[in-house]
Amino acid sequence: MSRLIVVSNRVADVTKAVQSGGLATAVADALQEARGLWFGWDGTVVSNDTHIGISINQQGNVRTATVPLSQRDYDEYYVGFSNNVLWPSFHYRLDLNLIDSKSIDGYRRVNQRFARALAALLEPDDLIWIHDYHFIPLAAELRALGVKHRIGFFLHIPFPPPDIFLAVPEQQWLARAMFSYDLVGFQTASDTQNFIRYVLEQAGGEQVSDTELKAFGGTIKVRPFPIGIDVEAFYDMAHTPTADEQIQRLQRRSMASNHIIGVDRLDYSKGLPDRLRAFRRLLDLYPENRKAVTLMQISPPTREDVQAYADIRQELEGLSGAINGEYSDFDWTPVRYIHRAVPRATLAALFRGSQVGLVTPLRDGMNLVAKEYIAAQDADDPGVLVLSRFAGAAEELTDAILVNPYDNDEVAQALQRSLTMKKEERIERHNALFDKVQKHDVKNWRETFLNELKSSRRANESG
């Protein structure tokens, strides 16, 4: 069996990966099975003149190889190009795209450095799986060093339509770099179509078959692989005696009989200010919810070095303060805003104890919270998922109440409909949603991607 090499910006503690969720959980099991190597940034920043070495550690079956970033690399590659150019642009936020040429140089430089460090660790049969927007050019840099291995790429965030991608500096260089992979995976069919359209319309490419795309002198495979979660593990976490106790406490301590829950990193792509405005509209339009419903929003800090993230924090704190000031009573607080990470088991219990899961990103690659909310419910008395049309998850989860997250009135009406929905309809919707979440779980995602990668081989005109 080939050894699996996973490359991602952050390398998690493999022993704790299941608790941390997202990408960490998704790849940790695959690495365990394949006695793999996980390569990436160790999360530290060192001064520029320090020698940057690689640290190798063994954690069970898995080896981790990590490197620190210099202050300059952190500023240019991580904050600059990855999070001030690619993240906003790929989330359709060109207004937040801060283009500067130094950051592009830093992005290129770090990808070259990571390629050199990784190339030195490779064994002949290794299968390489590179993750996310930090490393789009990594395969091209590896190929330049003579690496001939099979390399797959999965983009966790959306891929925007051509008109938006055209506003990203060096977009042609990025698109060309994608043709150094054997397989390129996106979250949804519409992301895949966006990429294909760019290649056909702007790069003179040709679609060879449903999944094969030819351009820049090479032919690669491209297709959607919607990411999922470990459904059983999440369901079990929501159904322990401790979870039962936490749910009872939530109900006892709160005057409200109904709970709406939102859980998202504090990121401008998640639509949090509009979510709070929609909740305020619910209280305005349907006053029977006053003293009867709370919104619990759990949002841990993230990327605080990026100005746009400091701005969103301020906006959200202002809004929740204003709503509470306007509507609270001595025995009821409408918005409970928690600005920190919460243990996953507590999240699972809170999802199960909440009548509505409110997931309203303005744009999201997939959104695992939507799937976690479904997984946590009791099948005989489930809650209702209100989901943004602009989350990748909406492509599969069509039995949720789908909403336009920009339209506060529409979201308020969807909340009212969910809070008053009859049990039979809730059960019917939940059954359909649960089936989909279970069918496309994380194991299925990982195995489908890796099987496809094993059978993909890039055709390259230059040999």
Shortest Cβ distance from residue 9 to ligand ADQ (Å)? 11
Measured distance CA(417)–CA(386) in Å, rounded: 10
424-443 footprint of ligand ADQ as x/- string (CB under 6 A): --------------------
Which of 73, 267, 364, 441 is an active site residue?
364
For residues 183 and 152, is the Cβ–Cβ distance under 8 A?
yes
Rule CB under 6 A: say whether 60 interacts with ligand ADQ: no
* Encoded amino acid at 363, one letter: R
Taking the least distance from each CB to ligand ADQ, the nearer of 21 and 334 is: 21
- How many amino acids of this chain bind ligand ADQ (CB under 6 A)? 22
366 near ligand ADQ, rule: CB under 6 A: yes
Task: Write b or e for each residue in 236-263: b if 16 or more Cβ atoms lie within 10 A of its Cβ, otherwise e.
Answer: ebbeeeebeebbeebeeebebebbbbbb
Interhelix angle 368-376/344-352, rounded to 10 degrees, is 60
Given candidates 126, 372, 396, 441, which one binds ligand ADQ under the rule CB under 6 A? 372
Closest distance to ligand ADQ from the beta carbon of 288 (Å): 30
Q: Is 440 a catalytic residue?
A: no
Active site residue 264: no
- Number of CB atoms found within 10 A of residue 325's CB: 8
Which listed residue (45, 46, 174, 341) binds ligand ADQ by CB under 6 A?
341
Instruction: Give the shortest CB-298-to-ligand ADQ separation in angstroms.
Output: 4
Write the DSSP symbol of residue 275: H
Is 274 a binder of ligand ADQ (CB under 6 A)? Answer: no
Residues numbered 299 to 318 that lie near ligand ADQ (CB under 6 A) are 300
Q: Judged by CB, which is closer to ligand ADQ: 283, or 312?
A: 312
Q: What is the rounded CA–CA span in Å between residue 417 and residue 148?
A: 55
Q: Pick from 389, 422, 393, 421: which is nearest to 405 by CA?
A: 389
367 interacts with ligand ADQ by CB under 6 A: yes
Q: Stretches 50-58, 315-323, 365-373, 401-409: which one binds ligand ADQ (CB under 6 A)?
A: 365-373
* Neighbour-count burial of 352, counting CB atoms closer than 10 A to its CB (0-12 exposed, 13-18 middle, 19+ buried): buried
Closest approach, Cβ 345 to ligand ADQ, in A, equals 10
Q: Which of 17, 347, 356, 362 binds ligand ADQ (CB under 6 A)?
A: 347
| Tokens encoding 30 | 């695959």
Sequence-distant (≥ 6) Cβ neighbours of residue 273 within 8 angstroms: 312, 315, 316, 319
DSSP codes of every residue in 132-172: SGGGTTHHHHHHHTT--SEEEEE--S----HHHHTTSTTHH
Residues 286-291: contacts with CB within 8 Å, 24+ apart?
286/412, 286/416, 289/258, 289/416, 289/419, 290/327, 290/332, 290/334, 291/255, 291/256, 291/329, 291/331, 291/332
List the beta strands (DSSP E) in 167-316: 183-186, 206-207, 212-215, 218-224, 258-263, 293-298
Quote the least distance from Cβ 54 to ligand ADQ, whole Å. 26
Instruction: State the nearest-atom distance from the C-beta of 193 to ligand ADQ, in Å.
Output: 17
Of 368, 374, 433, 442, which lies in the binding site for ligand ADQ, with binding defined by CB under 6 A? 368
Residue 364 touching ligand ADQ (CB under 6 A): yes
From 311-319, 358-366, 429-437, 446-454, span contacting ligand ADQ (CB under 6 A): 358-366
Q: Per this entry, what is the length of the chain?
A: 463
Find the binding residues for ligand ADQ in span 20-59 (CB under 6 A): 21-23
Q: Which is nearer to ligand ADQ, 165 or 327 (CB)?
A: 165
Q: How far apart are CA 264 and CA 267, in angstroms?
A: 8
Q: Which of residues 120-179 bind ligand ADQ (CB under 6 A)?
A: 156-157
Residue 355 binds to ligand ADQ (criterion: CB under 6 A): no
Per CB under 6 A, the segment of 40-48, 236-244, 312-320, 361-369 that binds ligand ADQ is 361-369
Q: Measured from the CB atom, is 157 or 450 closer to ligand ADQ?
A: 157
Q: What angle do CA 98, 102, 106 make, to 5 degrees?
A: 105
User: Of 156, 259, 430, 440, which is the active-site residue?
Assistant: 156
Q: Is 103 an interacting residue with respect to ligand ADQ (CB under 6 A)?
A: no
Report the catalytic residues. 156, 364
Residues that bind ligand ADQ (CB under 6 A): 21-23, 156-157, 227, 263-265, 298, 300, 341-342, 344, 347, 364-369, 372
